[in-house]
Amino acid sequence: MKKHLESLVSEALVRLRDDELPPESLRFVPEVERTRDSRHGDFATNVALRLATLIDRKPRDVAARVAELLPASKFVGRVAVAGPGFINFFLTPAALEAGVAEVVEAGERYGESDSGTGRHILVEYVSANPTGPLHVGHGRHAAYGASVANLLRATGHQVHEEYYVNDTGRQMDILALSVWLRYLEAHGEKVEFPANGYRGDYIRQIAALVTERYTDSLVIPATMVFTELAPARREEDQESHIDALIAAARDKLGPEGFARVLDTALESVLADIRDDLAEFGVRPDQWYSERSLEASGAIDRALARLRDRGKLYEKGGAQWFRATEYGDVKDRVVIRENGKRTYFSSDIAYHLHKRERGNEVLLDILGADHHGYIARVRAGLEAMGEPGTSLEVRLVQFVTLFRGGEKLRMSTRSGEFVTLRDLRREVGNDAARLFYVLRSNDQHLDFDLELAKSRSTENPVYYIQYAHARVCSVFRQLGERGLEWDAGDGRAHLSELEDAREKSLMTALGRYPEVIELAAANRAPHNLVHYLRELANEFHSYYNAVPFIVERAELRNARLMLICASRQVIQNGLSLLGVSAPESM
């Protein structure tokens, strides 16, 4: 409808252009928007206000002229010039009726558009280090990323969802060491577990898995590992202490032995993350291994590209990338003094490969604490000859858990409520998915567990789902009374829906495609949540005030058509958010 009106305005401008508008007005794109107040009609355009300055005429005169030149449309009942020079459009009943019919005809596909057709976009999200179970913060990333991906698909984009697996580096070594030390403990060795090692029951479970696979073949007397380390150093420098422990473990076990522990741990943690996300309705198309970048030569390729372009230099035995030439605050090391590549070198190689796979947009969804890293990755892309604008980053702010009014402490050490799985078990997947995207991604999120669980009016999940269930219930009632819905008859009598609540519900349904378009463009699933709440409110008001299953078949069928369309839109919207639409509650 919005597009239809825009084309009418464009046509009017073309007519006006012939004699009254200067050539520069050719670039003028008309904007038609929903009005906030129904007294201003259904849609309005500000073209006259914007044109008036350009041609130095009174806005209201220009508006009147444009209104005169608008082509007739069966969907536009009245056009009015109002306020400082707005042109207001009042839709005909036929426009609203056609909208309702369109919902029912399009069904699950209602709201889809082709605005993004042909655009390949790679959405990378979560990408948590595989060193332990996902926590509640990752849950927000998962819910947000998956919903954005769904919105992009609904608007025609070619979407590829990816989880980048940091399966190499120091954190993995610490994981392996932690597991190995628990394994030694389980075999009767006395170990001093380092303070900065990974704690948590899952480490012991993985240790048990190591025993299952390799029996006691990886047992080394603990004294051999610990006695070589000066005890004083443990106190002073935990970091170098744990590095020394890793080196010792590697030395005693040999590279293969250490790799056995590490790979067992990696597989186990990754399987857990995969299951966790799958249960949450989040299924990335690809799990991209950081290790594979080394094996495939992608890192060499990226570094060569930088070197060929003269963007690398040597300093202090390390290789540096001239990131400052591309707006970063400092140059970045790509190859350390010790010859190892940095995480950053993997990262630009990864992003280069995203581009090499034909993606126009690289959408990274990152934690707010990663913002400092945007400039350097973008710098890397540009230095390699890729457009810096291809990288789009959305930061997700932190989540704070509350139980009632009380803030929950979320530290791994305290062992309190921290994992995504725990949260899902407590409040359910639907509430978790919806609560996570209730707020804008760049707003801190207060997640109240009690509210998410409450089966009451305060809980937006139930409020929206309840509207869906109520429609289903009406159709069940219909069957129980031995009646059937005649959709064709309903379509033919939509004009009987003259109640103000019916009009405003129809208007709300017509907005859905615009909401999807906007939410996708802004990467803002919370726009959709707010819309669904409003739609549910429109429906509940209607339900409360008007009986649907009435005597007269024509009116009954028409009303059922309207609530059927409402149910469809709620179902489609919830589906994009990964929330179920129950038939009864």
Using CB under 7 A as the binding rule, the residues of this chain from 515 to 534 that contact RNA are 522, 524, 526-527, 530, 533
CB of 342 to RNA, least distance (A): 5
* 292 is a site residue for RNA (CB under 7 A): no
Cβ proximity to RNA, 86 vs 218, nearer residue: 86
Separation between Cα atoms, residue 89 and residue 101, nearest integer Å: 21
Residue list 10-39, contact with RNA (CB under 7 A): 35-37, 39
* 73 is a site residue for RNA (CB under 7 A): no
Cβ proximity to RNA, 268 vs 527, nearer residue: 527
Kindly state the helix (H) or strand (E) to which residue 401 belongs, with its residue range.
strand 399-403
Separation between Cα atoms, residue 306 and residue 331, nearest integer Å: 13
CB of 358 to RNA, least distance (A): 26
CB of 333 to RNA, least distance (A): 3
Kindly state the helix (H) or strand (E) to which residue 203 belongs, with its residue range.
helix 201-214
Stretch that binds RNA, among 148-156, 161-169, 352-360, 415-423 (CB under 7 A): 161-169
- Compute the 3-state secondary structure of the chain and give helix, strand, coil in percent, each to the nearest 5: 55, 15, 30
* 455 is a site residue for RNA (CB under 7 A): yes
Backbone torsion region of residue 166, taken as left when φ is above 0, otherwise alpha when ψ lies between -120 and 50, otherwise beta: beta
Between the alpha carbon of residue 495 and those of residues 173, 174, 541, 558, the distances in Å are: 70, 69, 20, 8
* 61 is a site residue for RNA (CB under 7 A): no
Residues whose CB falls within 8 Å of the CB of residue 189, separated by 6 or more in sequence, listed in order = 219, 221, 222
* 541 is a site residue for RNA (CB under 7 A): yes
CB of 87 to RNA, least distance (A): 8
CB of 488 to RNA, least distance (A): 21
At 125, phi and psi to the nearest 5?
A: -150, 165
Cβ pair 478, 484 in contact under 8 A: yes
Of 14, 55, 61, 84, the one binding RNA by CB under 7 A: 84
CB of 321 to RNA, least distance (A): 11
Closest CA to 203 of 223, 176, 232: 176
Of 141, 470, 523, 567, the one binding RNA by CB under 7 A: 470
Give, as one character, the DSSP assignment of residue 70. P
Cβ proximity to RNA, 145 vs 184, nearer residue: 145
Residues whose CB falls within 8 Å of the CB of residue 251, separated by 6 or more in sequence, listed in order = none
The first and second tokens of residue 90, run together, are: 């009042």
Of 14, 230, 368, 500, the one binding RNA by CB under 7 A: 368
CB of 262 to RNA, least distance (A): 13
Residue list 400-419, contact with RNA (CB under 7 A): none
Q: In 3-state terms, what secondary structure has residue 212?
A: helix
* 140 is a site residue for RNA (CB under 7 A): no
* 53 is a site residue for RNA (CB under 7 A): yes
Of 23, 295, 340, 498, the one binding RNA by CB under 7 A: 340
Separation between Cα atoms, residue 423 and residue 426, nearest integer Å: 5
Stretch that binds RNA, among 146-154, 219-227, 337-345, 406-414 (CB under 7 A): 337-345
Cβ pair 373, 345 in contact under 8 A: no
Stretch that binds RNA, among 187-195, 204-212, 295-303, 463-471 (CB under 7 A): 463-471
Strands (E), 92-141: 120-124
